[in-house]
Amino acid sequence: MRKLIGIVLALTLAFTSVAISTAQEGLTICFGFQDLETEFWVAGHRAITQTLRDQGVEVLEFNANEDPNRQLEQVRDCIAEGVDGIIIIPQDGDSAVTIVNEAQDADTPIAVFNRPPNDRERGIIVVADNEIITEQAVEFMAQKALRQYEITQEPITPLILVGALQDTNAIGRRDGFFNVIARYNERYPGMFKEPIEVATEWDAATALANLEAAITANPDVDFIFTSSDFLFPTIRSVLEPRGMWAPTGDPNHVIMGGLDGDATACMLIDQGYVDATGVQDLFLEAELTLSGILDAIEAGDYQPNAVLPDPGFALTAANIQYQRSDMWGCVLYDEGFLDN
Amino acid sequence: MTILFETRSLTKSFFGITAVNNISLEVEEGKILGLIGQNGAGKSTLMNLIGGVHQPDSGQMLLADKAYTPRNPADAKQAGIAFIHQELNLFTNLTIAENIFIDGFPTRRIGPIRFIDRGQLKRETASILEWVGLDVPADTVIETMSPGERQLAEIAKALYFDARIIIFDEPTTSLTARETERLFEIMRQLRDTGKAVIYISHILKDIAAISDSIAVMRDGVLMAQESAESFTIDRMINLMVGRKLEQLYPPKTAQSEPDTLLQVKNVSAKGLVKDIDLSLRGGEILGLFGLMGSGRTELARIIFGLDQFDAGEIYVEGKRRTANSIRNSIKNRIAFVTENRREEGLLMNVSIADNTTLVSLPQFANDLTLYVNQQALSDAAQQASQILQLKSGDITTQAAKALSGGNQQKVVIAKWLLNEPMIFIMDEPTRGVDVGAKYEIYTIIDQLAAIGSGVLFISSEIEELIGMCDRILVMSQGEVVGEFTRSEFDEERILRAAFREGEEKPHAAVK
Amino acid sequence: MSAIQTEHEPQTLNLKRIKATDLATSGSLSDRLVRWGKKLLLSDYFILIVSIIAYVIAAQFFDRLARPLNMTNQLSNMWPLFAVAIGQTFVLIIAGIDLAQGATIALASVVGAMIMAENLNPDMFDKLPFWGSILTENGGLLAGSPIATPVAVIGMLVSGLLVGLIVGTLITRFNITPFIASLVGFIFFSYFALWLTQSRNISGLPESFVNLGDSGELISVYFGPKLDPEIRRRDILAVVTASTVITLGLAFFAGYLLNRTIFGKHMIAIGTNPRAAEISGVPTRRVITLVYMFSGLCAAVGAILYTARLEIGQPTLGGLNLLLDIIGSCVIGGSSLFGGKGSIKGTFFGVVFFVLLGNILDAAQMSPFVIDAVKGLFILIAALLDYTRTRLVRVEQST
């Protein structure tokens, strides 16, 4: 029994300390996210929470751990709490629709960050146009490939690491890649062979296994695009033992690009291994999300609807000097994120 | 002659029952001592005292003329006393070498870390194995070995510890004739190198052949310890059986009826039983005697449908059994009280009432809704427990594990009683039951027969079979080797048959 | 045996003596507190009481916990978890474990959606295995038909039963341990669900199906004055919904099976001592298979509730995290992983514990990096308390 009382006391103390730290006045905004397993999401999470707190807004954070049901429950809790607005990073485009409807039906403004709902009619939707960002990065890579093709007259063998296809981002990135390849093949017939698709399911282990198999079957690959930068270390571990991991200028260099613009990509562009990466302008997106939701709150609009696009940009070996401060990965890199 | 080990007036009792009574035994160096006695004669208790499992109430033990007082099995091992049990103490998932050295591997130091020295481990193991004549590599995993090889591995383990006294407790039951021969050879070798060997066995012929001296125990008392030459097998049996039957059994009220309830014809199951014939009539109590491993339990399991047989036929109330299954047996109103209450008889954590009604549950349930009439169920359980004079608390809430051994056995019997059985197979129904409860169980058996059931009563205690049965069948090595009717009952002759030591041809089995 | 029995005798006497001295000094406040605490600890409702006390204490610090809407939210979160956990309880009682439940939820969700979805975009779905046959641009098999929802529900329940039948058969006919058999079921059917939909969610479920979940409000209440002509949606509390009725119906049915029928008694016999049960004529194989089928059925009911509230058929519904909550709820609620023990009531309390714990931890706004560790810690505390409790119960029983 004494033990029980002790535990109850400990419970009480634990709650007290937390309670003090969250007591604040002003607006309250709920932020529901998935997990913090890649640095992109860490950076996104940080961009949103910090910007909000800088403006004196109280933030309630909820981690749904990639379970859309959990996120729905958490959004309901936020509604019960009576928060002024909700920002979510949904797990997928379909559950996002249900969750947005749930919030709007309960008169709570909601914004969706980075992974858009399939139905873009409702809610404030901040969306990076994956297709366009991808096209910018792949365009730069294709330019470089074209120069190589004109010299050697050898067709280029392209490879793409595809994300999980229930994710609209992954679909957009894949489409962007194929658009550019098709465009160049139209203009310069025979320049690109049929692209090799490697499924990753957004999972490094899956990517590693599938890429190993693909490269073994096609050792002549000389053009690699990854749908997300977090797979660069995986690519490196496959290419390096085969002597294919070489900086630009080296005859063994594989033209390489990605998307997201994380700290590793920034470093690899600096070092010349990677040629380009499509960058979502995370800071712009956070700004857009916040101003969208705060404007709606101010206007007393409980069901604000808007699609706010992020055009993004391609960070390349050519522009890294003057664009690095806009790119979240380089910011992390320059802060020493990769040092430890 | 040097006496290496002796006990002086060693006594041990458990809760008023004297298991070892004033025993003074001598074990000589370089000699084999054969130890015999019926089940429950106190051999195991005596060995447990020597092995440090129990401590004596009085008396003392001397090892090489020094007081020897083991407080636990490790002490005994330390003192150089090794046990080789019928149930082996080997880790079946490890290799022979690992088993031998389990208490202390030879190690080699590399820097600050000590590693197991595999090379030395292998060399030492190989030399021990060679000595016991076990021709397998040191890294053979135990579970891949035959029972005989395991026995040899166990001996190798005992030898490694440089035991001075090696006790073999019924080591041959799982061995083939050749393995047994090899074992005896090793025992002689051990004797010749100056070790003392104690050999416990039910096989009197073996005892006579290999022992230098023989000790006989009965009811906790040492009846005799003499040199082997002076012992005939007759005398051994006389000394083991001894006393007259007392009034331990209820008066017989049941009468055998003419109709045959169960008939087993030429039933064989490979490795278990061979060519079994038996018949059981209504109202009859048929005893089935045999030593451990004689096939008596195996036969019971086959009749009940727990195990299958390869050849032969079983008839229940004149009808041939086609599907040999448990549920078929239950439908034919056969009951089976297993020898192992804890593992096969009871649901220990479940209430007495639910245990009692487990077999007859369908009688209390609606076929369609499966609804169980709880009231009818507990009434029936209550009635059964009253008939059997169960001593318990509230049977609907008290768990079976809270009962004493005798009362637990009554619950098992009650469970079958509610199914109104015609044929009752009882395997060691009085094992682990105190004397008072034994009498009650005998009474129940007699009453079962009195209402026309046939009872197949399996036991390793001859006395209770003689006290209770109309007929006794004797089994040995999977075969029925003798049949005795009530007028022929004689403990000595029955035991002789079980040991296959008949001076006369055993009676032919039932046709 | 008789030896052990007699050995216990003096101990029992001892305990009685201690109790007597307890009584002699009764009356002082601390003694009364101790006795009250012991009574609480021994109560069947222990976990429920602990959960509620913790919740009430936590609500002093986080007023959001005490809001009525938060409470009805928690209630609605309990039903689907409880539905699935009922099946798991049955499996634990027979000393098994059903990991396949995690995949059954996903499979049932997808199967239901494939029957009743009202439209499918060919750009996204034309790579699916059954495109053109079961699935078309117009939607699932019975899209738009009035019987779409009932057939889909039956289809979901049948897929649950089938998964259970397969797992149960693996266990009873091929002697595969429940852990491996259901793990195989989990992996296989997880990927089967992903394959069926090629990892895509199927949206556009009919209104009549969505109303089987939390949206199907049966009794809703509104507190406060009617000032506005329209009451805001978030002020209406859905106390009883379709999911409440479905889950409680399932719970009462399960309770009937477990406590009132021959089937329940056979389950407990098998969970306590399978050898003794078999020798006593219990049809062990049949009962075990049926229990796994019931477990699959419960998972399918959970799938109906989860799918209805998300309004999509999702091939990743359920999964490992949910599975841990399910098994955790059962064990906290008194089911034993060694079988023979467990109750529907206890499992409900376990579910209450898990849902309220999640709610409290969310309300406490701990860092996402530590929140799961803290959750683990509280589960450990609950388990330790339960351990103490079981020991106390044993001591009490032996006196």
The number of distinct structural domains making up chain A is: 2
Distance between alpha carbon B459 and the CA centroid of its chain, in Å?
Answer: 10
List of residues 6+ apart from C192 with CB closer than 8 A: C103, C107
E strand intervals along B394-488: 423-427, 454-459, 471-476, 479-485
Subunits that touch chain B (at least 3 Cβ pairs < 8 angstroms)? C
> Residue A97: which of C203, C232, C362 has the nearest Cβ?
C203
Predicted confidence band of residue A162 (pLDDT cuts 50, 70, 90): very high
- Whether the pLDDT of residue C306 is over 60: the answer is yes
In a domain? residue A10? no
Mean pLDDT value of segment A168-180: 90
Q: Which residues of C touch A4 (CB under 8 A)?
A: 37, 41, 385
- Gap from C198 CA to chain A (nearest CA, Å): 8
Q: Is the pLDDT of residue C41 over 90?
A: no
C93 contact partners, CB below 8 Å, separation of at least 6: C258, C267, C268, C271, C291, C335, C339, C340, C341, C342
pLDDT tens digit sequence for C322-381: 898 999 999 888 888 888 889 999 999 999 999 998 888 888 887 767 777 888 888 888
Are A88 and A159 members of one domain? no
The confidence band for C78, taking pLDDT boundaries of 50, 70 and 90, is very high
Mutant choice from C265, C266, C399 vs B, greatest count of B C-beta within 10 A: C265
Output A326 or C117, whichever has higher pLDDT: C117
To test the contact with chain C by mutation, choose from B370, B391, B392 the residue with the greatest count of C C-beta atoms within 10 A, namely B370
Please report, for chain B, the start and end positions of each structural domain, with discontinuous segments joined by +: 3-241, 246-333+423-428+455-511, 339-420
Interface probe for C, chosen from A8, A15, A202 (most Cβ of C below 10 Å), is: A15
Residue A218's domain comprises 130-280+316-334
> For chain B, how big is the Rg over CA atoms in Å?
26
Tell me, what's the pLDDT at A210?
92
Q: What is the CA radius of gyration of chain C?
A: 24
Q: Which pLDDT does position B87 carry in this prediction?
A: 59
Give the C-alpha separation, A298 to C399, whole Å: 69
In this complex, is the C-beta atom of B372 within 8 Å of any C-beta atom belonging to chain C? yes
Residue of C88 and B2 predicted with greater confidence:
C88
Supply the ipTM of this predicted assembly: 0.80
Asked whether residue A205 falls in the same domain as residue A220, the answer is yes
Using a CB-CB distance cutoff of 8 angstroms, which residues of chain A are in contact with residue C322? 67, 69
Same domain for A204 and A329: yes
Across the interface, of A35, A77, A82, the residue whose CB is closest to C359 is A77
For B100-139, write each residue's pLDDT tens digit. 887 777 777 777 777 777 888 888 888 888 887 778 888 8
Q: Residue A11: inside a domain, yes or no? A: no
- Mean predicted confidence (pLDDT) in A187-192: 92
Q: Are residues A150 and A197 in the same domain?
A: yes
Q: Please indicate, yes or no, if residue A186 is contained in any of the structural domains.
A: yes
Domain identity same for A270 and A158: yes
Is A16 among the domain residues?
A: no
Residues with Cβ < 8 Å from A186, sequence gap 6 or more? none
Q: Is B53 on the interface with C (CB under 8 A)?
A: no
Tens-digit pLDDT profile for residues C104-121: 999 999 999 999 998 887
Nearest chain A Cα to C194, which residue?
A166
Q: What is the pLDDT of residues B457-474, one digit of tens each?
A: 998 888 889 989 999 999
| Partner residue facing A73 (CB), from C38, C77, C366 | C77
CA distance C320 to chain B (A): 32
d(Cα B380, Cα B357) in Å, to the nearest integer? 8
Judge contact between A211 and A161, C-beta under 8 A.
yes
**Superfamily designation of domain B246-333+423-428+455-511:** P-loop containing nucleotide triphosphate hydrolases (3.40.50.300)
Residues of B in contact with C340 (CB under 8 A): 347, 349-350
Please tell us whether the domain made up of B3-241 is placed in CATH 3.40.50.300: yes
- Res. B348: pLDDT tops 50: yes
Average pLDDT over residues B375-399: 88
Say which range, A95-104, B14-23, B76-85, has the weakest mean pLDDT. B14-23
Mean pLDDT of B399-417: 87
Most confident of B429-433, B460-464, C176-180: C176-180
pTM recorded for the entire structure: 0.73
CATH code of the domain in which A89 resides: 3.40.50.2300
Are B347 and C268 an interchain contact pair (Cβ–Cβ within 8 Å)? Answer: yes
Instruction: List own/partner pairs for B187-190 with CB under 8 A and 24 or more apart.
Output: B187/B32, B188/B32, B190/B166
Torsion angle of the four alpha carbons B53, B56, B59, B61, in this order, in degrees rounded to the nearest 10: 10
Whether residue A269 sits in one domain with residue A238:
yes
In degrees and rounded to multiples of 5, residue B358 shows phi and psi of: -60, -45
Instruction: Tell me the CB-side half-sphere exposure of residue B324, using CA atoms within 13 A.
Output: 20
Beta strands in A49-157 (DSSP E): 58-63, 85-88, 110-113, 124-128
Residue B423 has pLDDT above 60, yes or no: yes
In the chain, the amino acid numbered A111 is: A
Which chain C residue's Cα is nearest to B437?
Answer: C2
- Mind listing the pLDDT tens digit for each residue in C133-143? 888 888 888 88
C to A contact (≥3 Cβ pairs closer than 8 Å)? yes
Mean local confidence (pLDDT), A245-272 = 90
Please report the pLDDT score of residue B173 as a whole number. 63
Spatial separation of the C-alpha atoms in residues B163 and B193, rounded to whole Å:
12
Residue C155 has pLDDT above 90, yes or no: yes
- Angle at alpha carbon of residue C206, lines to C205 and C209, rounded to 5°: 90
* Closest-CA distance of chain C to residue A14, Å: 9
* A2 located within any domain: no
User: Residue A215 falls within a domain, yes or no?
Assistant: yes
Residue B178: Cβ-neighbour burial (10 angstroms; 0-12, 13-18, 19+): exposed
How far is the C-alpha of A312 from the C-alpha of A285, rounded, in Å? 9
Q: Are B23 and B59 in contact (CB under 8 A)?
A: yes
Token code pair at residue B343: 């593992």
B223/B92 Cα distance (integer angstroms): 39
Closest CA to B499 of B292, B298, B245: B292
**pLDDT confidence bin for A280, thresholds 50/70/90:** confident
Does the pLDDT of residue B503 top 50, yes or no? no
Same domain, A105 and A178: no
Higher pLDDT, B21 or A37: B21
Same domain, A326 and A178: yes
Coil, strand or helix at B56: coil
A50 falls in which pLDDT band (50, 70, 90)? confident
Domain segments of chain C as ranges: 73-221+235-317
Q: What is the pLDDT of residues B236-290, one digit of tens each?
A: 877 877 644 445 678 888 788 888 899 999 999 988 899 999 999 999 999 999 8
Write out the H or E segment, with its range, that includes residue B32. Answer: strand B32-37
**Interchain CB distance below 8 Å, C1 and B432:** yes
Chain B: give the shortest CA distance to residue C161, in Å.
20
